[in-house]
Amino acid sequence: MAGYALKRLMTEYKELTTRPPEGIIAAPIDEDNFFEWECLITGPDDTCFANGVFPARIVFPQDYPLSPPKMRFTCNIFHPNIYADGRVCISILHAPGDDPTGYESSNERWSPVQSIEKILLSVVSMLAEPNDESPANVSAAKMWREDRQQFEKIADSLVRKTLCLPASEL
Amino acid sequence: MAENLQIDEILNQKRIGDVITKAFAIFFFPLGLILLIIRCFIGVHAFLIACLLRKSNRIRSIVMRFMCCVLGIVVRKFGERDESAQVLVSNHISILDHLAIDLISPCFLPSIWDIPTVIRWCFGYVDLGASRGRSELVQNAKKLLAETRGQPILAFPEGEITNGKRALLKFSTWAFEISDVVQPISITVSRPVPWNFSVSRIAASWLADLVLFFAIPATFINVEYLPKLTRNEDESIDEFALRTAQTIATHLKIEVSNFEPRDVAEATKRWKRDQFERRNQAGNSLSSGSSGNRLQNDRQLDECAMRIKQSHPSFHLSLIREDLQKTRNQAATITNLKLGKIPKDLNPNLDGKINLDPSSWKSIFSSRKWQMIEENRSKYLQKDGAFVATYLYDLYHSYVNRNYDFENFVEQLVNIDWEKIIRRSVFSGKCLIDLLKIIIKIRKGVE
């Protein structure tokens, strides 16, 4: 089982290295362990996360791609669909059947035809368009709805942090 | 089956377990050294005899057994060898297991392990083409048994050495594919009381194990033949392997675990890394008490590179990170930056062909990573610079709209929170030039 997972991860690694999608890179943290990856996601243009380079970790189960991997941002991030500890909550990371929020239709769920690239692209679009109907971070969702300006301010400070820029007060 | 058993429990972590043995080891060291040197010479002779007298020779068996006793390897046989079983299956606890069994009943050991050809030839190992795949191995083994009736094949289906105290590794099944009748063997090793050193240790080299065998007066290898087992008709090979493993395990009063040689390799790697880190830490606390905080792992180094970048923005991140890899110290790298030991610009060697060798991909990843941060950083700053430019432009227009009120313009200019703008590091030289241009324009207009 693990053998197949390894093979599959290797193929995806090759694909992501030779043809990296715009603004996304990913690789195993340690070459001895293909089940834990680090990746960087660039915030989509024309959003408050634009130009931010957000690091995250993906942990794959031994029976990947049958079960979905888990993803977690390793930087501070304030977003309605990301838990305060960095765990990402999007439908593509949930196997059909377990639905913590009750808002997802099963065609957006995890299936073995999905890939790391697709996950990361979904995360990018999630950054662009938060789904505040099933929030993982309630206060972020509330602020997103009610005080957009403050939300953008916080997002900007997080972006600056990922770019090694001093915190702004403007 | 052994649940929640840790892999570390079935491998020896240390050679010496208790304090008394440790104290004794220091006392015994010079004697052991002399014994080792003498036995090395005798060992050469034993080796020559092993080469001269070929297998299945009764004299060889007797002579070798005697020589091994002199070398401190005492092989004791229990139980009876059953000639009708052509495959011997044994647990694996030391590097000399096969030698011990070979001395009692000459047998073939398929060399699936990395041993030099010379040694393989001398000890009469057979190359059954294990490297070309398992079916090839099984085929060749069957052929060999058919050709030379009498000499059995010996297999260690565990594939790795364990301490034999808690559990066996999961048996691999190739040995059970060769024949339906196998004879299990249980091997135990004991050393007389004050020499309580483990026979093997996690990540130990075979040479270290051998040296210890020679340096200690005597090591008893107890080989016990268990009654032969026959595969039932409705039993699969996996079940047969498991039953054999359980027979041996029950005899040794231990369990059968689900660990495979791969897990042992993993544990070995982890153990080596831990040792390395521990040694590094010990080295640090000794050598650099003051400069202290040496950065250990890649993650810390990455974070540190980003911290340095914040206060030294003109250097490329990947160059900072490269230097940190060498110095492993924030202060040292900052000194290097200040002394100009690090170039400011990166040689553009990123966009080349991508090597097909996966081991080079990780470095591609990290150079892309820093490049990505640098690019987005300058984009972000440009955006910010545009913000200042827009601000100045607006200011100029308010000046025009307020009927060229220069006093008011200057007042607004003074009221700008320059400190904040500069702290935000967006006020570049270009912004200053823009501002001066506006002022010159205004001055000209006023005059």
> Does residue A68 sit within a domain?
yes
Q: What is residue B10's predicted lDDT score, i.e. its pLDDT?
A: 77
**Residue B123: what pLDDT?**
59
Shortest CA gap B249–chain A (Å): 27
B71 contact A CB<8A: no
pLDDT in tens, B56-66: 567 777 887 88
d(CA A134, CA A101): 6
The verdict on whether A48 is a catalytic residue reads: no
Residue A169 lies in a domain: no
**Structural domains in chain B plus CATH codes:** 7-270 (no CATH), 289-347 (1.10.8.10), 373-446 (no CATH)
Mean pLDDT of the A80-90 span:
89
* CB-count burial class (<10 Å; 0-12, 13-18, 19+) for B251: middle
The percent of residues in chain B predicted with pLDDT above 70, rounded, is 79
Most confident of the ranges A84-88, B161-165, B270-274: A84-88
Whether residue A75 lies within 8 A of chain B, CB to CB, comes out as no
Q: How confident is the model at residue B143 (pLDDT cuts 50, 70, 90)?
A: confident
Q: How many helices (H) and strands (E) does chain A have?
A: 4, 4
**Inside any domain, residue A129:** yes
Q: Is the pLDDT of residue B290 over 60?
A: no
- CA contacts within 13 A on the Cβ side of B6: 5
| Residue A150 located in a structural domain | yes
| Residue B72: count of CB within 10 angstroms of its CB | 21
pLDDT band of residue A170 (cuts 50, 70, 90) is very low
Q: Between chains, do B420 and A169 touch, taking CB under 8 Å as contact?
A: yes
Least confident among A119-128, B30-39, B103-112, B435-444? B103-112
Q: Residue B2 above 50 pLDDT?
A: no
Structure confidence at residue B365 as a pLDDT band (50, 70, 90): confident
Q: How far is A154 from chain B (nearest CA, A)?
A: 15
Looking at the DSSP assignment, which residues form a beta bridge with residue B185? B90, B225
Residue A168 lies in a domain: no
Least confident interval from A5-9, A136-140, B384-388: B384-388
Task: Give per-residue pLDDT as tens, B219-231.
Answer: 888 989 999 888 8
Please, which pLDDT band fits residue B271 given cuts at 50, 70 and 90? Answer: confident
User: Choosing among A29, A160, A164, which should be mutated to test the B contact, i.e. which has the most B CBs within 10 A?
Assistant: A164
Give the pLDDT band (50/70/90) at residue A19: confident
Q: What is the CATH number of the domain that holds A28?
A: 3.10.110.10
A170 in a domain, yes or no?
A: no
- Domain of residue A143: give its range: 2-162
Binning pLDDT at 50, 70 and 90, where does residue A102 land?
low
Are A169 and B424 an interchain contact pair (Cβ–Cβ within 8 Å)? yes
Is pLDDT at B287 greater than 70 in this prediction? no
* Gap between the Cα atoms of B257 and B160, Å rounded: 13
Strands B255-256 and B219-225: unpaired
Does A1 contact B at CB distance below 8 Å?
Answer: no
pLDDT greater than 60 at residue A157? yes
What pLDDT sits at residue A163?
Answer: 85
Q: How confident is the model at residue B288 (pLDDT cuts 50, 70, 90)?
A: very low
In this prediction, residue B425 has a pLDDT band, given cuts at 50, 70 and 90, of low
How far is Cα B258 from Cα A72, in angstroms, rounded to an integer?
31
For residues B228 and B240, give the distance between their C-alpha atoms in angstroms, rounded to a whole number: 12
Q: Is residue A143 part of a domain?
A: yes
Tell me the ipTM for this assembly. Answer: 0.87
pLDDT at B289: 37
Question: Which of B310, B364, B372 has its CB closest to that of A17?
Answer: B364
Count Cα atoms within 13 angstroms, Cβ side, for B127. Answer: 12
What does the DSSP 8-state code read for residue A42?
Answer: E
| Rounded mean pLDDT, B390-414 | 72
Whether the predicted pLDDT of B93 surpasses 90: no
* Contact by Cβ (8 Å): A44, A54: no
Number of domains making up chain A: 1
Mean local confidence (pLDDT), B31-36: 88
Among candidate residues A48, A75, A89, A164, the one labeled active-site is A89
More confident residue, A47 or A102: A47
pLDDT, greater one: B155 or B433: B155
A chain contacts of residue B376, beta-carbon cutoff 8 Å = 42, 51-53, 163
- What part of B 340-369 touches A (C-beta under 8 Å)? 354, 358-359, 361-362, 364-365, 368-369
> Could you give the CA distance from residue B204 to residue B192 in angstroms, rounded to a whole number?
22
Nearest to B52 by CA among B64, B66, B40: B64
Give the span between the Cα atoms of B246 and B254, in whole angstroms.
9
Tokens of B60: 């060889």
Residue matched to tokens 């090793």: B189
